[in-house]
Copies of this chain bind each other. A is one copy, B any other.
Amino acid sequence: MLSIGVDIGGTKIAAGVVDEDGGIIAATTRSTPATDAELIEAGVADAVAELRAEHEVVGVGVGAAGFVSADRRTVRFAANLAWRQRPLADELERLTGLPVVVENDANAAGWAEYRFGAATEAKHMLMVTLGTGLGGAIVLDGQLIRGGDGFAGEVAHMTAVPDGQWCGCGRKGCLEQYTSGTALVRTAKRRAAAGDPAMGPLVQAAGGAKKEIDGPLITRVAHQGDPGAQELIAELGTWLGLGMASISSLLDPEVIVVGGGVAAAGEMLLAPAREAYAANLTARTHRTLAPFVLASMGNRAGIVGAADLAR
């Protein structure tokens, strides 16, 4: 039984035909016309049409970067795309004639890791995605958790530090401001601007241009052994561990999957995360410590998860 998964990102619509083992057996892409909802939907429909010409599919799952209603039909709000209370599933069903479900993109990726990736052994999973921002997905007892409005999994905006750093969301101290790609780069740039000598090698690697420092550069310089860059990543890991400890107090997952671009730092990120997690988890001697593992599905997770949720 095949289904189609679609991952709608800020610049690209990626779609694929997914089998029951999570394999992508055909794929295509379209560019994303971000400011026009109807054009996005037409692009999705076009990609679906191309794929189903060759494969018999039972439905379409769409992963979208936005707040999706709990019934998986409406995008209530998206920061970077032209959707406000958009009945995306209805529109796509009309255009494709296939049953459609919509899912938050982090949820779709988390579901893929749960079903086919790093967390197949677990029933209770937490996934966090450290990209530009901080995404989250929760699976408990084999169920993806969506909450009353469909807004569950917003790890990014748990309060890590009362009266802490301002967040783009209008509040202070959100966890995303302490552990995400944005947090990593900002800390590096601010310390560099303040003349912190530990940032010297990083500035040098950026050709002297402090403003050119970005996440991949930090990760590369850290892999080359620079203590300053490693410290930046370790600080991110420590905050990650702290945040996950609070979540584990609440949900007690069996495994914590870490994905996103920052996860390329591997153990430089995970080792301090595990340490801070163990140090900040209550009753540590009476419980099983959830392991921190890297996501294994990579970029495919969005397509595969969305497709699987459509079955």
Contacts and interface: CB of A to CB of B under 8 A. Distances in A.
B148 A282 contact: no
A259 to B, nearest CB: 18
A280 interface: yes
B288 A149 contact: yes
A194 B170 contact: yes
Contacts of A169: 194, 282-283
Contact of A284 (B165, B194, B284, B287): B194
Interface in A238-259: 242, 245-247, 249-254
Interface size class of A (residues with CB under 8 A): 35 or more
A250 to B, nearest CB: 6
A122 B70 CA distance: 14
How many copies are assembled? 4
A174 interface: yes
Contacts of A138: 250-251
Which of A143, A280, A283, A286 has the most chain B CB atoms closer than 10 A to its own CB?
A283
25 contacts: A67-B283, A67-B286, A147-B253, A148-B288, A148-B290, A151-B287, A152-B250, A152-B251, A152-B252, A153-B250, A154-B250, A154-B252, A156-B282, A157-B281, A158-B246, A158-B249, A161-B161, A162-B242, A164-B164, A170-B191, A171-B194, A194-B285, A195-B284, A196-B279, A247-B250
